[in-house]
Chains A and B, each alone.
Chain A
């Protein structure tokens, strides 16, 4: 559905993105992951035809972004990092305006408006002026304007930014629910959020894609790690004793042992199921001092830092 062919975007001398090269199939939910300034928003703005590439070519459903932006705009719904809202309008009036902008007929609007309101849980506030809504609701209105015309491609730039934890969960569920009927592209600097929401991740650093597609998980091992229930513990004892204690636990593999000083070791393990109780029991049984045991949650961050550093090296080169 989307073909991005060696696309670069320069602001003066500064390269916001360089040599982007990827394709996205219809129906996928793809996350653009990267730190601030990595080029996520620029990539999404290029895909939504708000910007033109300095070089390279973007086609969406066969339409060229440079030659046929008007055709592409008919296909997309876009939520920028700040929802484009008219504060003095009521939610319903605003959504009607957004629908008409997308060339919806009156009949289509009458049918689609209640659906969009319900889908984004806005029915109760439909008659309220937008400037009286909370940040979370404004974000929902932003999503509602992006989906009201059932676009083939939904582009969401930092959709969870500024939301509280409850709103983040609700937003994630909403995006997952939408992924069945739209191709979704979203950006985030939140690793776990992208992992939880998207089928595929494109990792950006310094304007370049440092990893993408299915290979990302395999290379970093983080998808496996997530599936394998990593755990991390601190144990007082010798390395030999720790290895001996844990090595014969079924399916448990030690991935790292590092001394922390004072005869304490930091140990990372992987297992097909959550083995923390077994590990705790074995360590205590062997007379080792268990100081800390918790589920490992840092694999994603480590993978990200690894790729980010790779991108930095490439950028320097």
Chain B
């Protein structure tokens, strides 16, 4: 635990001291606001519908943020050679993965919560339940956490942060494409493919203000598997 905390605090310090994290944060908040303005407001709608539309787009933006934040997690260390400091120290690969992942997750969660000003605007002319907002945000954080975990795995596969972000993007898009492909497939492939969709299948309930256990289990399972795979990749580097 101590080692995880050590890596986590260094990574968080790095987010605070480097401009790239601020650029990504500013871009995510800007896009959230622009999409809300473009799609959620204007027409006459129920406040809950406006909030659903906001969550739909904010979920996609959070996924993008997760992909972008994950690219530097492990790949950058290899790129700059700082992984050598970590892996010649008495620290386990899993502790490195978890420390870095949690730091990025904290930053992404703070960023996600910072977009609360957008649903708060709904209160100017409407009314939504706090439960709907809470379920939406929890769902978004889980969605972001899952994307971040997939990105962490992608980041363990290459030493180039740019390739890492491309790879991460490809993984996330492939999972999301499972939904439309599943719709035209025959059972049981239909259910199997549809189940793999990160946003359309598993974020849908959160958008509507419901947090389903099945979705939480799906997200947590994918997070666990992705981080485990990243750890195995790091452990196997010694064999190369």
A279 to chain B, nearest CB (A): 51
Per-residue B-contact encoding for A74-102, CB less than 8 Å = 1, 0 else: 10101010111110110001000110111
Binds B, one of A47-55, A167-175, A298-306: A47-55
In chain B between 98 and 143, which residues have their CB closer than 8 angstroms to a CB of chain A?
A: none
Contact present for B88 and A76 (CB under 8 Å)? yes
User: Is residue A70 contacting chain B, with contact meaning CB distance below 8 A?
Assistant: yes
Asked, given contacts A48-B88, A74-B90, A102-B89, whether A84 binds B238 with beta carbons under 8 Å apart, the answer is: no
Contact present for B14 and A88 (CB under 8 Å)? yes
B97 to chain A, nearest CB (A): 15
A-B contact count (CB 8 A): 63
Contact present for A78 and B81 (CB under 8 Å)? no
A259 to chain B, nearest CB (A): 52
Task: Indicate which residue in B18, B88, B90, B92 contacts A78 across the interface (CB closer than 8 Å).
Answer: B88
Contact present for A80 and B84 (CB under 8 Å)? yes
Contact present for A84 and B89 (CB under 8 Å)? no
Contact present for A102 and B83 (CB under 8 Å)? no
Asked, given contacts A86-B14, A101-B91, whether A51 binds B238 with beta carbons under 8 Å apart, the answer is: yes
Asked, given contacts A11-B240, A88-B14, A97-B10, whether A82 binds B88 with beta carbons under 8 Å apart, the answer is: no
Total interface residues on B, CB under 8 Å, equals 23
A204 to chain B, nearest CB (A): 20
- CB-defined contacts of A98 to chain B, threshold 8 Å: 85, 89
Mostly helix, strand, loop or mixed at chain B's interface?
Answer: helix
User: Is residue A103 contacting chain B, with contact meaning CB distance below 8 A?
Assistant: yes
A90 to chain B, nearest CB (A): 10
B9 to chain A, nearest CB (A): 9
Contact present for A85 and B88 (CB under 8 Å)? no
- CB-defined contacts of B239 to chain A, threshold 8 Å: 52
In chain A between 28 and 61, which residues have their CB closer than 8 angstroms to a CB of chain B?
A: 48-52
User: Is residue B87 contacting chain A, with contact meaning CB distance below 8 A?
Assistant: yes
Task: Indicate which residue in A50, A88, A145 contacts B238 across the interface (CB closer than 8 Å).
Answer: A50
Contact present for B82 and A84 (CB under 8 Å)? yes
In chain B between 1 and 22, which residues have their CB closer than 8 angstroms to a CB of chain A?
A: 3, 6, 10, 13-14, 17-18
User: Is residue A119 contacting chain B, with contact meaning CB distance below 8 A?
Assistant: no
User: Is residue A73 contacting chain B, with contact meaning CB distance below 8 A?
Assistant: yes
In the complex, A76→B86 CA distance in Å? 12
Task: Indicate which residue in A11, A49, A100 contacts B88 across the interface (CB closer than 8 Å).
Answer: A49
In the complex, A80→B80 CA distance in Å? 12
Residue of B with least CB distance to A73: B90
Task: Indicate which residue in A51, A82, A88, A101 contacts B86 across the interface (CB closer than 8 Å).
Answer: A101
Contact present for B90 and A88 (CB under 8 Å)? no
In the complex, A69→B234 CA distance in Å? 14
Contact present for A82 and B89 (CB under 8 Å)? no
From B3, B84, B86, residue with most partner A Cβ within 10 Å: B84
Contact present for B84 and A78 (CB under 8 Å)? yes
B77 to chain A, nearest CB (A): 9
Contact present for B85 and A101 (CB under 8 Å)? yes
Contact present for A70 and B92 (CB under 8 Å)? yes
- CB-defined contacts of B87 to chain A, threshold 8 Å: 49-50
- CB-defined contacts of B13 to chain A, threshold 8 Å: 89, 93
- CB-defined contacts of B84 to chain A, threshold 8 Å: 50, 78, 80, 84
Contact present for A86 and B82 (CB under 8 Å)? yes
Contact present for B6 and A100 (CB under 8 Å)? yes
In the complex, A73→B80 CA distance in Å? 21
Asked, given contacts A84-B83, A86-B82, A100-B6, whether A73 binds B17 with beta carbons under 8 Å apart, the answer is: no
Contact present for B81 and A80 (CB under 8 Å)? yes
In the complex, A73→B17 CA distance in Å? 29
A54 to chain B, nearest CB (A): 9
B18 to chain A, nearest CB (A): 6
Contact present for A49 and B86 (CB under 8 Å)? no
- CB-defined contacts of B10 to chain A, threshold 8 Å: 86, 97
Residue of B with least CB distance to A149: B89
In chain A between 180 and 231, which residues have their CB closer than 8 angstroms to a CB of chain B?
A: none
Residue of B with least CB distance to A75: B90
In the complex, A83→B88 CA distance in Å? 13
Contact present for B89 and A49 (CB under 8 Å)? no
In the complex, A47→B89 CA distance in Å? 13
In the complex, A11→B90 CA distance in Å? 26
Per-residue A-contact encoding for B57-93, CB less than 8 Å = 1, 0 else: 0000000000000000000000011111111111110
From A48, A84, A97, A102, residue with most partner B Cβ within 10 Å: A84
Give 6 CB contacts A-B under 8 Å. A49-B88, A70-B90, A86-B10, A88-B18, A101-B85, A102-B90
Assuming A80-B84, A85-B80, what are 6 further A-B pairs, CB within 8 angstroms? A52-B239, A69-B238, A80-B81, A82-B81, A84-B83, A84-B85
Q: Which residues of A contact B (CB under 8 A)?
A: 11, 48-52, 69-71, 73-74, 76, 78, 80, 82-86, 88-89, 93, 97-98, 100-103, 145
